[in-house]
Amino acid sequence: MQAAWLILGNDLRQRSRDRSIWIMAIAAPLALAAVFALTLPDVNQGIDPPRWVVVDEDGGTLANLFTAFALPIAADGLEATISVVEDRAVAAARVADGTYDAGFVVPAGAGDTGAGPVVEVLTVQGRLIQSLVAEAVARAFAHGVEQVLVATAAAEELGASASELQAVPGIAFATALPATIVEVPAADRVLDLTTFLSAGMAVMFLFFAVPFGVTSLLEERSMGTLARLRVAPVPAWSILAGKVATSLVIGVASMGSLILATSLLLGASWGDLLGVASLVIAGVVAAVSLVGVVAAVARTPEQASVAQAILAIVLAMFGGVFFPVSQGPGLLRFLSLLTPHAWFLRGLGDLAVPGATAADVAGPVGMLLAFGLGGALMSALLGRNRILAP
Amino acid sequence: MTSVLTCAGLHKRFGDLEAVAGVSFTIAPGETYGLLGPNGAGKTTTISMVCGLLEADAGEVFVAGERMTTTTTSIRALVGYVPQDIAIYPDLTGRENLVFFARLQGLPRTAARERAAEVLGVVGLTDRADDRSSEYSGGMKRRLNIGIGLLHRPTLLVLDEPTVGVDPQSRNAILASVEELAGAGMGVLYTTHYMEEAERLCDRVGIIDAGALRAEGTPKDLMETTGAPDLEAVFLELTGKQLRD
């Protein structure tokens, strides 16, 4: 066992000298988190309150109804900015210069049966989400107006009083606006977006970090030092154990750095510390083991490097790092379960439930360790005659 | 007296190629044995079996009377191995390389440091001990490569073409070190293409070709037997003059 520690210490010293350990365990995770912090600055801040401008060209009650009633309902829960201007051109200019997200014009004669559109929408190309929201609000209002007209006509037919007829629009709009903006509290989500992105990035990065240990066997073979290790009076397994330990240390260090950096820079909430630690260690074991399969079959360090990059990307794709496979077809969802990435993300999702502890991730941790065991067996089977051959 | 090394009927085959076909020889304590042969003759395969890196298909290797296999560990402490290619860690200093391999041989930390300092002196690298070995010249790397094999004072030192590509000064220093080690009772198995080295160092030589020993004896005996004027002529007579891959 002492030989394994010596080999671990020797590997870490070499990785420190060539700076690769500092790059993989600290610099790269910090850089990744910093890039994410710059590109996704408000990803965890929720939805910005909408800023809308309204033009009343009709001068009737419909515009008042839209401004005072329909828009606040649509912006339910958010402090929307709703301004009214006189001129369509002014509104369009304000939307164009970004003062407002979108504009609504209630044209003259709006609401008259068959007179044309009830509300027109002013949007700017490139602001897709704001445009879609504004269009949905306008469609819902138009639908509401139609319902009001139908409801009012029906109430008149039934002999409703004047005060009852006045209440009809409110009742109709209260049930007719399906498009409202609602902020879901983070605690109720399976995994918030920042943490999902951070976790995906971390588990993919792991497959680039851990090869430093196990594939250094290939480098040692090409340098001739593997023969020296094999001639030393130490059991062969201790050489392998030292290399695996190097991968484990680098993997855990890089994951730890990423978790710390994304928590501090992005506000990612990873969940219960013990649960996260269990997932990280199990994930690193799985990654080391699968990378070990590559080391077992590759003939040169260069060949291993290419194969590991392909493995990392393919597993990340099917594991749901780049897009949520849970919303994909059944086959894709099934394939994702064959990757450690999916189980790692699933485990973090389990930890995102309020009050979740390490016990709640026993399933994903077990699956990750199973990947580790499977990879180790496969490595032993494929590389039994050559992984330590000098 | 128990021989330092006994190879008895070694055979090794790689597919259709019989790399070693019944090689047998012994080395006594303090004796330097030269294993000479052209490229592909089976020298390195034989050495790999001697060091426990390869399992023989047939035959046995005994080091100081104990059988060497690919799975035995304790007996390896008796063997010092200097591979043909320079096998050192370029990012580590000469001293760090030596201390690491000394610790791997089982020396405690302090003893490893002391022994590393001694070996640095033996191979003439004391002044550059704390420089990264990647900054060493070819000759210095060769000397460090040899030094690693001496760290644990092995009973048998296996040197596989240790002077390839070094300048005359470094070569002379290496040969002097080997002579000194053999004089101190260490058994040496030495392979080389340089016949003058074999004549200078080796008490006996075995000439191997196509996996089999063609002749064995002292350089003087071989020259007398074949009537050749020097060892190189003996070598060419026994192995032929055709080019080898």
Beta carbons of A282 and A372 less than 8 angstroms apart: yes
**Are A79 and A49 within 8 A, CB to CB?**
yes
> Would the pLDDT of A77 be above 90?
no
Interface of A with B in 245-264 (CB under 8 A): none
The radius of gyration computed from the CA coordinates of chain A, to the nearest angstrom, equals 30
Q: How near does any CA of chain B get to the CA of A18, in Å? A: 7
Query: What is the ipTM score, two decimals?
Result: 0.89
Question: Is A384 at the interface with chain B, CB within 8 A?
Answer: no
Q: If 0-12 CB within 10 Å is exposed, 13-18 middle and 19+ buried, where does residue B71 land?
A: exposed
d(Cα A10, Cα A242) in Å, to the nearest integer? Answer: 9
d(C-alpha A235, C-alpha B214), whole Å:
36
Closest CA to B190 of B17, B43, B9, B38: B43
Q: What are phi and psi of B24, to 5 degrees?
A: -135, 135
**B244: in domain:** no
Q: Do B53 and A390 touch (CB under 8 A)?
A: yes
| Interface contact flag, B76 A6, Cβ < 8 Å | no
This model's pTM is above 0.80: no
List residues bridging with B157 in a β-sheet.
B80, B188
End-to-end CA distance of chain B: 40
Radius of gyration of the CA atoms of chain B, in A: 18
Q: Which residue of B has its CA nearest to A234?
A: B73
Can you read off the two tokens belonging to residue B51?
């060091």
CA distance B76 to chain A (A): 5
Measured distance CA(A156)–CA(A164) in Å, rounded: 10
Q: Would you state the pLDDT for residue B241?
A: 64
B127 contacts chain A (CB < 8 A): no
Contacts across the A-B interface (CB distance below 8 Å) = 65
Task: For chain B, count helices (H), then strands (E).
Answer: 8, 10
CA B25 to chain centre: 15
Contact with chain A for residue B51, Cβ under 8 A: yes
The neighbouring-strand residues paired with B62 are B6, B67
Token pair 């890039």: residue: A35
Cα-Cα-Cα-Cα dihedral sign, residues A235, A237, A241, A244: positive
Choose the mutation target among B97, B104, B134, B148 for the interface with A, i.e. most A CBs under 10 Å: B104
B134: pLDDT confidence band, cut at 50, 70 and 90?
A: very high
Most confident segment among A168-172, B13-17, B109-113? B109-113
- Alpha-carbon torsion, ordered B119, B121, B123, B127, to 10 deg: 120
The enclosing domain of B119 has a CATH number of 3.40.50.300
How many other CB atoms sit within 10 Å of the CB of residue A264? 12
The pLDDT value recorded for residue A45 is 53
Helix ranges restricted to H, A232-361: 236-265, 273-297, 301-318, 330-336, 340-352
Cα–Cα dist A12/A229, whole Å: 16
- For residues A323-336, average pLDDT: 77
pLDDT of amino acid A33: 79
Mean of per-residue pLDDT scores for chain A? 81
Domain that holds residue B215: 5-239
Q: How many CB atoms lie within 10 A of CB B121?
A: 12
Q: Tally Cβ neighbours within 10 Å of residue A158.
A: 8
Tell me if B245 is assigned to some domain.
no
Check residue B111 and give its pLDDT: 94
> Which B residues, 148 through 167, put their C-beta within 8 Å of a C-beta on chain A?
148
Domains and CATH numbers, chain A: 10-43+187-383 (no CATH), 51-182 (3.40.1710)
Q: What is the pLDDT of residues B70-90, one digit of tens each?
A: 888 889 999 999 998 899 999
Between the alpha carbon of residue A217 and those of residues A3, A201, B51, B122, the distances in Å are 15, 27, 19, 30
> What's the whole-number mean pLDDT along residues A180-205?
64
* Rounded Cα gap, residues A305 and A210, in angstroms: 11
**pLDDT digits over A132-190, tens only?**
788 888 888 887 777 777 777 888 787 777 777 777 766 666 655 544 444 444 344 45
Closest residue of chain A to B69, computed from CA coordinates: A231
Q: How far apart are CA B53 and CA A27, in angstroms?
A: 40
A235 touches chain B (CB under 8 A): yes
Contact A129, A136 (CB under 8 A): no
CA distance to partner chain A, nearest, from residue B213 (Å): 25
pLDDT tens, A215-238? 888 889 888 999 999 999 998 889
The per-residue DSSP string of B37-71 comes to --TTSSHHHHHHHHTTSS--SEEEEEETTEE--SS
Tally of domains within chain B: 1
Q: Quick one: DSSP state of residue A23?
A: I
Report pLDDT for B1: 61
| Between A370 and A165, residue with greater pLDDT | A370
Q: How far is CA A135 from the centre of its chain?
A: 27
Give the Cα separation of A239 and A230 in Å (integer): 8
Mutate to test the interface with B, among A221, A225, A246 (most CBs of B within 10 A): A225
